[in-house]
Structure 1
């Protein structure tokens, strides 16, 4: 679903995080942050355990003549496990770097002594937290590698074209055009909007994404500094082991260097802010009323349990005649999450409320989404008839057998 929609009706000095953001003020929020830290700490151990250790066990459980055959060329599966272990260690260097800069940002010790419960973040991650850390590391392929550019072009270029078509004359005349990017993820779209000369504010609620985006935007030292093996931990639908062990480097563009180069060449480069908060709560607040010239949502609106809440927030924070640009599918994230529960502090099962804490969710068709948008005070300026196909962290060399 791709469209330009027109409305009828926050970072610190270091460029990191801003807003009413104090996770230590609330014990539940502090637990979420601590479990995020711990999930990056556990990346190396859990990746080795779940990827190669259990596969070695299963491999040696085969009849001895079988595993011996498969351990020799041209199969060499035991050697493949060793190479995957090396790839895991390379990926873990990124996880460790994200953890180190995150702990420093929040003034937390790397090895808490256990005496201060407000600093004891070790061994707090759940299985779900660890999975999020794994997927976050892999997501650097999509957003910050040269090889992932094909996915970015399909999703980000329509946004950049739309902004330039709508605002380039005003921007060139010296007017600051403020653009909000909800669900900013690892920050690449925010960066590209800034590089196009607009003032961008990214918003993200996931601590995994926030820590990772802060690291890549503010703490990497140069292009191609870090090695990433995005597909090494996956063993299905492979054409070859070479494909599985494909190596890329990140970041393909260093944000700080790009900004300095733009300044040296007198090219426009907008300001960059990141807010860490619930999108609906923060951007429905009085302080954000009619603050932005544009809102850009990429692979975002289908995260809404109740899309009406998202549209209300977008309408609230857009200036009169502001523009909403949307790209992405309607793969509703909460479709399979009904009737889920988790242990509460008292040990009993508590219902999980999604998004802004309200119960309930609904999935709409594309036709219904456009009808709802117009019902709520927008009109459709432009709709892309055929959306180009886009994978999501997908190896372009991937081959499905059968």
Structure 2
């Protein structure tokens, strides 16, 4: 087990969201969305399609029910895939109820999920493909690889065994894969996440899975669009691709790390711009790494000021990602939570930091972002032009490809 301590908004070592009415509401909504996943996915994905299928003229039904189409069998296969995904949702739900000592039979939290929560649980389950399936490795390498290489370059004068003395903050840690890889490379790592959907899922995958490839996931089951072959829709992947506890034990031995991974890895729950502006975090970290994160800011200045506050003088900020500004006026409307296959929808609906920042918002181009970072107290060490593409929970065989050309830069605090 990887004991990822959870740090509260006030800097304490324990979180009690049930003591705050708004936090309790958000937690209950997340938990209930995991509970409802199975029923909602079946209803929206297969039940309504069966109704439409049986409304066709009988001659047309006969054609589509026979070989090579077999649509009723396709719907049965999708139902089986949904059940496998829902088994994960149920496991995460049971763990969350136990963690927060919530009565599973209580009516207080049941029915709390909103349509946005249902969209988030769909996106969170799909994100397991990106972060914890072998098939998601190309996406991870395109995004996490440059960040890890940048860290190793910035602290290249430090022996791997002594990397445990380098403290790294990962805001918007999501399902924890980048945080895990940073810890696995020998660094002391603290991840931060505000979404209970992401926190509950990352806690399960890091701390409670029992081995590699122990759970089946069907990432594309909920969408019938843009498949070149029907088998692609019901593709099975297995998660996690590696057993986190075992991998960290191996890396500790291989690096001869002066601190065990259990002492170097923690997760915080809360608002990045509130928690990390607290006095105890002033100059606390040697590095901050942000991946597909800064465009979640309504006010990017607040993010930059927070990073500056919690970095040591001379500390580095490594960033990689696009600029899909989540609060842009007129942004694409969220699609039905069980029919969309859009990677943009997955990115929009993470909303990891909704609630961060005061009133007002703005959007900048990449060159303006870099200039703003410089203006607010950083020296740009490296700023790579866009030379590669990165998907975000993207089926590489889909007829629709949503690809980003992310910006990469490293800045050093003056």
Q: Please, what TM-score do these two structures have when normalized by structure 2?
A: 0.86
Is contact 1:16–1:214 with CA below 8 Å preserved after alignment?
no
Please, which of 203, 228, 247 is the counterpart of residue 239 of structure 1?
A: 228
Please report the RMSD computed on the Cα atoms of aligned residues, expressed in angstroms. Answer: 1.8
1:182 Cα shift? 0.3
Corresponding residue for residue 296 of structure 1: 289
Please, which of 200, 206, 216 is the counterpart of residue 211 of structure 1?
A: 200
Corresponding residue for residue 64 of structure 1: 58
Instruction: Structure 1: give runs of 5+ residues left out of the alignment.
Output: 1-12, 115-119, 341-352
More displaced, 329-338 or 376-385? 329-338
Please, which of 315, 318, 321 is the counterpart of residue 325 of structure 1?
A: 318
Moved over 3 A (4+): 263-270
Structure 1 segment 34-183 matched on structure 2, within 5 A? 34-112=28-106, 114=107, 120-172=108-160, 174=162, 176-183=165-172
Corresponding residue for residue 17 of structure 1: 6
1:335 Cα shift? 1.1
Provide the rounded CA distance (Å) in 1 between the counterparts of 2:120 and 2:329: 18
SS at match of 1:61: coil
Please, which of 280, 296, 306 is the counterpart of residue 299 of structure 2?
A: 306
Is contact 1:35–1:125 with CA below 8 Å preserved after alignment?
yes
1:206 Cα shift? 0.4
Partner deviation per Cα, 1:199-242 (whole Å, 9 max, x = no partner): 01000000000000000000000000000000011111110111
Change (3 A) 1:266 1:362: closer
Instruction: Say yes or no: does 1:259 pair with 2:248.
Output: yes
Corresponding residue for residue 350 of structure 1: none
1:400 Cα shift? 4.3
Provide the rounded CA distance (Å) in 2 between the counterparts of 1:220 and 1:109: 23
Provide the rounded CA distance (Å) in 1 between the counterparts of 2:114 and 2:82: 20
Change (3 A) 1:336 1:235: farther
Q: Of the two structures, which has the highest relative contact order with CA contacts closer than 8 Å and spacing of 6 or more?
A: 1
SS at match of 2:90: helix
Provide the rounded CA distance (Å) in 1 between the counterparts of 2:37 and 2:144: 29
Provide the rounded CA distance (Å) in 2 between the counterparts of 1:295 and 1:47: 37
SS at match of 1:174: helix
Structure 1 segment 253-402 matched on structure 2, within 5 A? 253-265=242-254, 267-268=256-257, 270=261, 271-336=264-329, 354-356=354-356, 358-400=358-400
Change (3 A) 1:354 1:156: closer
SS at match of 1:170: coil
SS at match of 1:201: strand
Instruction: Structure 2: give runs of 5+ residues left out of the alignment.
Output: 334-352, 402-414
Partner deviation per Cα, 1:83-130 (whole Å, 9 max, x = no partner): 000000000011011111111111112212x4xxxxx21111111111
Provide the rounded CA distance (Å) in 2 between the counterparts of 1:329 and 1:146: 24
Corresponding residue for residue 21 of structure 2: 27
Q: Please, what TM-score do these two structures have when normalized by structure 1?
A: 0.88
Provide the rounded CA distance (Å) in 2 between the counterparts of 1:139 and 1:173: 32
Provide the rounded CA distance (Å) in 2 between the counterparts of 1:375 and 1:264: 43
Provide the rounded CA distance (Å) in 2 between the counterparts of 1:378 and 1:394: 34
More displaced, 79-88 or 54-63? 54-63
Is contact 2:292–2:320 with CA below 8 Å preserved after alignment?
yes
Is contact 2:288–2:311 with CA below 8 Å preserved after alignment?
yes
Partner deviation per Cα, 1:243-262 (whole Å, 9 max, x = no partner): 11111000001111112223
